[in-house]
Chain A
């Protein structure tokens, strides 16, 4: 069964999601990759305000291709998430409730998710042309100098994701693989 969920994502809804749940996101999410995360954490360390509201925020790890004329955004699939592991616990502690990416996360991130009630979602890697169709509007809100790595505000409709790690630390990468191997 597919769950329809809204972004920003409340902690209450975040805590209700379980690893393996298929979800469709609608609402506002923000993009950030390596370079933007570094800057956000530098601002946080200095006690300065972030360029977007981090409370209940969902951050999509993506660096899209440039939009062609007539497109809201270019191809926009997830990038590998572990590169954001050094920064994610800081943002989760500040209020981030959802991360969308692909690939493994480390224990620091998972512990922060459990402590604060955050969810790690996966979008299908390498499907940027397909996923871009669910992004209706994109505008840069910070760090334009970073090009593809700038922070963008995205308006999404029924953007497909799967809960990889839930707020209790259950991990689809372990359970899904085991379920397949048990089925043989």
Chain B
């Protein structure tokens, strides 16, 4: 965060402090990220990010004249425990806002609780969409902010004609691949030119799948791989890819779940040129990002990297701070109303805007893997508004979400009725 920004927020906080005397101090911020179990790999980083953001904010004077206090709980990668811990945060610790979750299933687990108790959750990870909850702000990418632009890049810039959609067998790859299959068919790719494969979490035996992908090229069409492979399994996949000598120029791979963190477990020399699509890369060349990366490294150690969900928390947290300041309270409904239209500068340049459908408008970046495990950004779009319901599946094309005007997250624009107020889980 740049100094100017900090002082601006501090000043705003000072002005807003007058009506905020009724505010209970300290303001509690719930952090609901797994610190143990399988997801600790990714989520611990986000817990550290939140602690850093809260410290920075307290150093700048807190919010509404109050100190912020992080309430960290460990849902231990256990999905039912997420619901339990969310209830605990909201009813026992009485937090004003929760930042948390990584996997979709954990989000689905806390949704009923958050909606029942009218809490506020900021969800920082790219996800499959097809959901809109009144009580959740989605600061990660929806499919149209990551998957669709990356596919367009494949179609237009790399002229890929045959697609291998490889994914880990869970909801994000399933839904994303479903959307992509439908999208590709609309773009004129024949059904038999789309190869889909699902593997279990942590899969390590990739030789046959890589061989299958290489064999796809036998009919003379350019093959591209869209990977929604999650977590550790990527290590084996990329090692096999490198061993098979698959060059990014012959069969490019674009990944949606591989960021700087994941690459730190790999030797990337043989992977140079393969792609990833995100809304943020550590290599983004802006002033704000340099400060952010420096602060992170100073706190966590020189070898640590930053990644996209961290930026999502960065934007989400700052927007929440500004919205609470604007509303003069941390009361959920007031903050929620104040969130719409909040703007905050991205770390990659440009400005993120919170839309009435609780998604952000953010730029989409495509990066090529470099030898040092970082990404070289080769394409950056304008801000793309996040879309809760994809336009490329017939069931959800008719749905829209607007919590500001329509006050409905699942509005059928054809029949003009609100399908349901609660979200589907």
Partners in one complex: no
